[in-house]
Amino acid sequence: MQTYIKLNHMQIHKPLIFILLIINSFSSKLSAQHTEHNEDIIAKTPNQNSNRILSFLALGDSYTIGQGVQQKYSWPYQLKDTLSTLSVAIDTLTVIAQTGWTTNDLKNALLQKSPVPHDFVSLLIGVNNQYQKKPFTQFKKEFDDLLKQAITLAGGSKNVIIISIPDYGVTPFGSDNSLKIGRAIDKYNSYIKQKAKVEEVSFVDITNVSRSLGDAEYALAEDKLHPSNIQYRKWVELIVPVLLSKLNH
């Protein structure tokens, strides 16, 4: 005689219940194994940027110290803050820069300060050579020397980032001579970009940002010459991917 069990007002054959229990148990084990497998993959897949601690040396002039804005709004410090949100910590941020510095001034400062090697080094210099009408041949020689020093301090060309010179001809300060200034800046940046290619270092073009923003109210600091914190943030948006690509290779 067959035995039946009443369940939810339905009659189910007892052997069938046993089979269903086995299937359910097997499915549960598969599900648990699948979950453990996924968790194991997650655990074994490294976050390439997780808990990275770096040192960063920023070399330059007023554009690097952030003349006209608070230090925290200069692009090196905004870079530091942005990277922290991506699990990359700049533990040591060294800025060697000063308003009005030419390539020669920066060379002398490096001799005096003798900075220690850093994981990454940036170089943004030359606008004061142009503004002070220093010989272009002098700029080229001194820029070459500075780039060599940057490569040495960074432990290799792959850890150096050259940033282009912004066009101050679009600001009220340079509006009376904007075309001439723009052409001169292009000349300097063309040489800088060429050297970056030869030395195999990264080149970040922020000049187009300065030109696209022009003299918009939010684009400049109160002095109507130097970039605002908003413009520096846009520079950082271009620099971050370059730096992260270096970390991941």
What CATH number does the domain containing 96 carry?
3.40.50.1110
Q: Are 23 and 99 within one domain?
A: no
pLDDT digits (tens, 9 = 90+) for 86-99: 999 999 999 999 99
Q: Are 239 and 125 within one domain?
A: yes
pLDDT digits (tens, 9 = 90+) for 167-197: 999 999 999 999 999 999 999 999 999 999 9
Q: Quote the CA–CA distance of 187 and 173 in Å, as a whole number.
A: 20
Q: Are 131 and 97 within one domain?
A: yes
Where residue 219 falls among pLDDT bands split at 50, 70, 90? very high
Q: Are 24 and 106 within one domain?
A: no
Q: Quote the CA–CA distance of 182 and 189 in Å, as a whole number.
A: 10
**How many domains would you assign to the chain?**
2
Q: Which domain holds residue 10?
A: 4-44
What per-residue confidence (pLDDT) applies to 52?
A: 80
Q: Are 231 and 179 within one domain?
A: yes
What per-residue confidence (pLDDT) applies to 249?
A: 74
pLDDT digits (tens, 9 = 90+) for 6-54: 334 444 444 444 444 444 443 444 344 433 433 332 233 234 555 689 9
pLDDT digits (tens, 9 = 90+) for 124-177: 999 999 999 999 999 999 999 999 999 999 999 999 999 999 999 999 999 999
What per-residue confidence (pLDDT) applies to 50?
A: 53
